[in-house]
Amino acid sequence: MITSGQIRMARAFLRWSIEDLAKKSGVGASTIKRMETFDGVPSARVENLQAIKDTFIATKKIKFESENSISVKE
């Protein structure tokens, strides 16, 4: 799955606001804000976590290396 730290890191690398990620992933901005406050895997619907992860992967700039890290490609 995806952790809150990975969400924050990927969003920062892409220079996306929470609203940008919400529009691209179909997950509500308030849900994303809540997810980002957790440590580890957020308490959220699996479908929402997967939608966010898939959105990042679709950019072809973010790769999820392990449980707590990402790699980025310019």
Q: What is the CATH number of the domain that holds 64?
A: 1.10.260
Question: What local confidence, expressed as pLDDT, does residue 70 receive?
Answer: 86
74 in a domain, yes or no?
Answer: no
20 in a domain, yes or no?
Answer: yes
What would the DSSP string read from start to end of 13-63?
HHT--HHHHHHHH---HHHHHHHHTSSSS-SS-HHHHHHHHHHHHHTTSEE
Mean pLDDT in consecutive groups of 10 residues from the start of the chain, 74 residues = 92 97 98 93 92 96 84 84
38 in a domain, yes or no?
Answer: yes
Those residues whose C-beta lies under 8 Å from the C-beta of residue 65, and which sit 6 or more positions away, are: 71
63 in a domain, yes or no?
Answer: yes
Q: What is the pTM of this model?
A: 0.91
Q: Which two tokens stand for residue 40?
A: 């580890």
Please give the distance of CA 61 from its chain centroid, rounded to a whole number: 13
Question: What local confidence, expressed as pLDDT, does residue 74 receive?
Answer: 75
Per the structure, the count of domains in the chain is 1
Give me the domain span that covers residue 16. 4-68
